[in-house]
Amino acid sequence: MNPSLLPFLQPQGVVVIGVSTSPEKLGYGVARNLVQSGYPGAIHFVGQKSGELFGRPIYTDLNQVPDPVDLAILIVPPNATPKAIEDCGQRGVKAAIIVSSGFRESGEDGAQLEKQCLEVARTHGVRLLGPNCIGTLDTHLPLDTTFLQPPMPTEGGIGFISHSGAFCAAIVDWAREQGFGFSQIVSLGNQADVNETDVLPMLADDPHTKVIVLYMESVSDGRRFVEAAREVTRRKPVIALKVGRFESGQKAAASHTGALAASDIAFDAAFEKSGILRAETTEQMFDWARIFEALSGATAQSKSTQGGVAILTNAGGPGVIAADAIEANGLSLAKLTEPTLKALIASLPPAAGVFNPVDMLASASPETYATCLKILLDDPHVDAAMVILPPPPMYKAEVVAEKLIEVISQFDKPVVMTLMGSMLVEEARSTLERAKVPTFPFPERAASALGALFKRAKYLDNKPMEHHAAPTIHHPWTNIDELLASYEIRAAPIRLARNENEAIMIADELGYPVVLKIASPDILHKSDIGGVILNIKDASSLQLAYAQMMARIKTAQPDAHIEGVHIQQQIPDGQEVIVGVVRDPQFGPLMMFGSGGVEVEGLKDVAFALAPLDQAEALEMIRKTWAGRKLKGFRHIPAVDEEAVVDVLVKLSRLALENESIEELEINPLRVLSEGSIAVDVRMKTKRL
């Protein structure tokens, strides 16, 4: 952990500056929570008037406060905050939580005031959390620096980082009713100084935190965030809920790659690169967190990445729901072995269903549940199990739960419980949760949590690649051809002819057959208006094609500026794909692969990933798309060189990292041959200097 951040969660002494004796004031709420939390360190109060609060003196000057004190909670008017920070620095208090609002979130004047706070803090060596935040919580120390209504959350293993204070407050209250707690909570507020990237390692270092959840509205430094998260996720699961998916007003893009690469896609790629699991909803985020918390340790790191799941139920309908949900979450139903089937048949009535899902029928007793679960977990094809328990008609659900716990404790395989019902299964839920068995109200939520578990297992199974420390330019270049050649990306020779005679001369030099393409900065989609003519076999055919093309362009787009035509050798047949890169302002080069040619934006058969790519990452990216899967051949489509595409993606990702002036570069199409590949059409956009 960064030593300068240590006081935020492990302070030796805390001072509340702006304390109040009025119960309706935030300064009172913070003081109350700090005292009632049971914090074992020194607690000090500073206010406008001297007096006493909760049996402690209220000082009027920070210099009167005795040692130790290394964390300040500031609840003063915005205009008074810079001076309060300066006082902290002079007193030797090196960490401050700014609870007050009225800064960047309130407009330009507030933004300038926030900037002033940061400048003062840096001058005096003070780290800031906030402003406009609710503070921090540590249930194990314990420490509560917030003004939230008591009681503080129960002890747990979930570390929670949030950009929103209101979201924190709502979740803390909701968690009480849901029956789970937290290890630490950090509200970031405006992030004038300390941000999500700083806090991630703090929570990862906490021995009580088993899983980290992150509510995000933005990111402060994308590349730094990814690097920090890659290190953290190797140690502990991280789950993010990133809001603001559907941004309007995307920037104008010069390529298909730029048009398709919305900012939210960059977040998807960043999360995948760093091993962060992205949840779709708040409920899903905490469902996943609870399974990682309950199954922390060897079980949570699942020894198998295959995801073969056995379903055990006493009712057919829920079993079918569960089977669908398992498949929908990227898992599969385990194919039970013959010994398993025989053992199930011997243990169940003739009418029971022994093929996965296993339906024991409504009469299943607690002993039957336990026996069948043991049989399933003994099967080498079963990597995990989902047990579905609606209220049993003849037995108490909690008795079934107790018998199941005896079996679950004997195995190192994930088992999730679906308790369908309410009052009749409530005692069973409590029994299972005390035994650290994750429970869910419906099969879909249980399957989603299992999917997250195995997705993380797959991530941990992959060896992390070495990253470039920093982008550097290795190859001088003056045009696209030189640039691609310097990275050994093969491209079809292409030359500009400004008139018909030059076109014939160039075609003679390149060798027939050739392709004719209109050269105009005003025409993006050449094929749409007859701006591409293929397979021209001789000079006379070239003359005719040239005249026809110019006539079509004049009719279709009369105002377009025509520079001439591009002449290119005709490339052998193969499959056409698109590969490209666009520089995301937060995360850097974002790679794209997908179906190429004229239908790329219509099909949207594309996948994205952050640069740099290694061979495994490029292959994973390719196989997410139909264009990538059919490289191996499909029906009448012959197989082509998949490894050549992987090679181009890896080299293009390195090219993008090492040439920061490139904003977009797209090869569309990349013609993939039986051996090798050729860039047929390349478009590039660079930064304006």
Q: Helix or strand or coil: residue 519?
A: strand
* pLDDT in the model for residue 465: 60
Residue-level pLDDT at 494: 86
Provide the strand spans (E) within 84-210: 95-98, 127-129, 136-138, 143-144, 155-162, 182-187
pLDDT at 122 over 90: yes
Q: Taking 60 as the threshold, does the pLDDT of residue 299 lie above it?
A: no
Phi, psi of 588 (to 5 degrees): 85, -155
Would you say residue 357 has pLDDT above 80? Answer: yes
pLDDT at residue 681 is higher than 90:
no
Taking 90 as the threshold, does the pLDDT of residue 220 lie above it?
no
- CA–CA dist 554, 551 (Å, integer): 5
Contacts of residues 593-596 at CB distance under 8 Å and 24 or more positions apart, as own/partner, are: 593/618, 593/621, 593/622, 593/625, 593/627, 593/628, 593/645, 593/649, 594/625, 594/627, 594/628, 595/625, 595/626, 595/627, 596/627, 596/668, 596/669, 596/670
- Is the pLDDT at 302 greater than 70, yes or no? no
Q: What is the pLDDT of residue 298?
A: 39
**Chain centroid to CA 608:** 13
Determine the distance from the C-alpha atom of residue 134 to the mean position of all C-alpha atoms in its chain, rounded to a whole number: 25
Helix (H) or strand (E) segment spanning residue 226: helix 222-233
Average pLDDT estimate for 194-199: 97
The confidence score (pLDDT) of residue 483 equals: 92
pLDDT digits (tens, 9 = 90+) for 27-57: 999 999 999 999 999 999 999 999 999 999 9
CA–CA separation, 134 vs 97, rounded Å? 9
Answer yes or no: are the C-beta atoms of 669 and 600 closer than 8 Å.
no
Beta-strand ranges (E) seen in 209-357 are 211-216, 238-242, 277-278, 308-313, 332-333
Q: What is the pLDDT of residue 601?
A: 63
Kindly report, residue by residue over 451-491, the tens digit of the pLDDT: 999 999 999 988 766 554 444 445 566 688 889 999 999 99
Q: How confident is the model at residue 528 (pLDDT cuts 50, 70, 90)?
A: confident
> With 80 as the cut, is the pLDDT of residue 306 above it?
no
pTM for this structure?
0.89
pLDDT of residue 468: 47
**Residues 6 or more apart from 308 whose CB is under 8 A from it?**
331, 332, 333, 334, 335, 381, 382, 383, 384
Contact between 229 and 274 (Cβ < 8 Å): yes
Give per-residue pLDDT as tens, 155-174: 999 999 999 999 999 999 99
Under 8 Å between Cβ of 96 and 118:
no
What's the whole-number average pLDDT of the chain?
Answer: 91
b (16+ CB within 10 A) / e for 434-473 = eebbbbbebbbbbbbbbbbbbbbbebbeeeeeeeeeebee
pLDDT by residue (tens digit) across 266-285? 999 999 999 999 999 999 99
Shortest CA distance to 25 belongs to which of 97, 69, 77, 80?
77
- Contact (Cβ atoms closer than 8 angstroms) between residue 199 and residue 184: no
The domains found in the chain, sorted by start residue, are 3-209 (3.40.50.720), 301-461 (3.40.50.261), 493-569 (3.30.1490.20), 575-686 (3.30.470.20)
The pLDDT of residue 249: 36
Q: Is the CB of residue 502 less than 8 Å from the CB of residue 528?
A: no
pLDDT at 571: 87
Average pLDDT over residues 318-334: 96
Give the 3-state secondary structure of residue 8.
Answer: helix
**Residue 293: predicted pLDDT:** 95
Reply yes or no on whether the pLDDT at 248 is more than 50. no
Confidence of residue 300 (pLDDT cuts 50, 70, 90): very low
